[in-house]
Chains A and B, each alone.
Chain A
């Protein structure tokens, strides 16, 4: 009986998150209809993530094979959704547990310390929980110690990272009403500092005329499809028709095949996103509701696009310069013996854009440009370094995109290596 509960019920991540949603909904005294539908949709969200993973992993593997054959070096696609979905079969339960208890730690810290932030960017909480689950597991922890240590680390991340950039967020928004909760913080802090040293606050990005035509890239489905199509086809050309048609496509034309794989990847991301959206739809309001009751006088820490409207030109400039840095890094990484981190449009869009806004706040146009360029370098090199430490964890085709995931992962694995555990 105990084994049924431990293994089949609590060990099934989808059921686990459903239980958390159920508890959250009951605590908020929601109507029975809402409790039932909310719980079911949360469970379904988790399962949809798994379905998306299946679609995406096939395309990812093909990309890896092509890249390796073409350039004799591994090419890794940094996409949070991809790696988290791939990790769910082995690390799903620990991810779910660390996520929920991490939120509990967040509330405790917000209540009793000066770090009064409630981290509401649910999908990032999920991703960081996964990163922590994976790295601590590789480091040798399991069971209750894994969850305990993991939750404390996650809770700390959820309050400390927003606290670090809050001074800059105040400059951007002109108020102290909200904070930014997004695990690209290290990139933003560096961007803000680069802006401070090299930039001129008075000449802001909003004084220039920036073409609005790049706005269509805000649609993530379009952005991922486009970049993947470009990368797949370019890599296919280097891989060669012969290899692809004999080994990978079962005979169908190598360019057509590559394009289809690229869109399949994007389709996988779309499905995973739909699943994540459903999953956090009940969990985040429950978290917010409980946090507001238990820990008053806190600031919500929100997703990075919240600051985009304050400097729309900086958003585009930030993305462009970060992406350029990412493309450049693709050539430098193999030279220094690291795997090639394929410049991901989504990480460069969101973090580059945010870095641009931070850089603009402290250093105007030059701050936005150099700051986001620095961010681009960071999100190319940090994931590469993390991969070295992750070793053969099994997800070599993909990795985490934003800076903080890499930094925390590197810290955890390095400290555990020091203790002789990993």
Chain B
């Protein structure tokens, strides 16, 4: 399963989100390939699940992708509850 974390710049927040997603996955004892990038690059990337913060998700959603919105990217609890339904 491939998860792509996205933010505007692809640098600061997506990075932290990626680290938290990985932490959440470890806690849930699940495996997935997690990477992060910026909005522009995200256009052409293939992934099973895209994760973004509430303020950029509008730009990420093109109708064809599975998107998860995060309000507090530091909350492992929120991450776990939101990605759980999508994990195989």
Contact = CB atoms under 8 A, between A and B. Distances in A.
B66 interface: no
Contacts of B37: 277
B55 A178 contact: no
Interface stretch (A36-44, A301-309, A372-380): A301-309
Given A288-B19, A306-B74, A309-B73, A215 B12 contact: no
A219 B38 contact: yes
Contacts of B13: 302-303, 305-306
A203 interface: no
Main secondary structure of the interface of B (DSSP, over half): mixed
Contact of B8 (A178, A218, A280, A284): A218
B40 to A, nearest CB: 4
B8 A220 contact: yes
A49 interface: no
Interface stretch (A97-105, A119-127, A246-254, A412-420): A119-127
Interface size class, chain A: 35 or more
17 contacts: A122-B15, A215-B56, A215-B58, A218-B8, A218-B59, A219-B39, A219-B59, A220-B8, A273-B9, A273-B11, A302-B16, A303-B11, A303-B13, A303-B15, A305-B9, A310-B72, A349-B8
Interface of B: 7-13, 15-16, 19, 36-41, 53-56, 58-59, 70-74
Interface of A: 120-124, 173, 177-178, 182, 212, 215-216, 218-222, 270, 273-274, 276-277, 280-281, 284-285, 288, 300, 302-306, 308-310, 312, 315, 349-350
Given A303-B16, A306-B13, 5 more contacts: A216-B59, A274-B41, A305-B7, A305-B8, A309-B72
